Amino acid sequence: MVTLSNEEIVSALLSNGTNKATADALGISESYLYKRMRTPAFQATLKEAKAIVFKTFLESAQRNMIDAVSTMVEIMNNQDCSPQIRLNAAQAVVSTVTRLQNSAVTERKENEYLSWSI
């Protein structure tokens, strides 16, 4: 039997929709997969992979944020759109900007805390 690394199993988990599909793709039993998933080393590898995936997703979202807000503003200002659609776009702009401001405040506080704790 070929020994799979934690990285190979995590990659398969991220590529397949279910644990069963992952086990099938790797040619292992589900029970073996669950056994490996319970180990601290696997949990650490999975946590790191999730952090990388989340960071990549967040960076992609940030790159597209300007276009997204611009599109919402365009719809909001388009007199050919119905008032309800324009209102929805305006609410989306306000909501997005508010979340971004809150995130910036949170990040600033975290960075201040980290600079004090170092």
Highest mean pLDDT among 34-43, 61-70, 104-113: 34-43
The answer as to whether 35 is a domain residue is no
- Per residue in 49-74, pLDDT tens? 988 888 888 788 778 888 888 888 89
Is 94 part of a structural domain of the chain? yes
Give 77-92 pLDDT, tens digit per residue. Answer: 999 999 999 999 888 8
Is residue 24 one of the residues assigned to a domain?
A: no
Range of the domain at 61: 57-118
Residue 39 lies in a domain: no
Angle at 41 between CA 34 and CA 49, to 5 degrees: 85
- The yes-or-no verdict on residue 2 having pLDDT over 70 is no
Cβ–Cβ < 8 Å for 72, 93 = yes
pTM > 0.75: yes or no = no
* Helical residues (DSSP H) of 3-39, grouped into ranges: 6-15, 19-26, 30-37
Q: What is the pLDDT of residue 88?
A: 92
Number of domains in the chain: 1
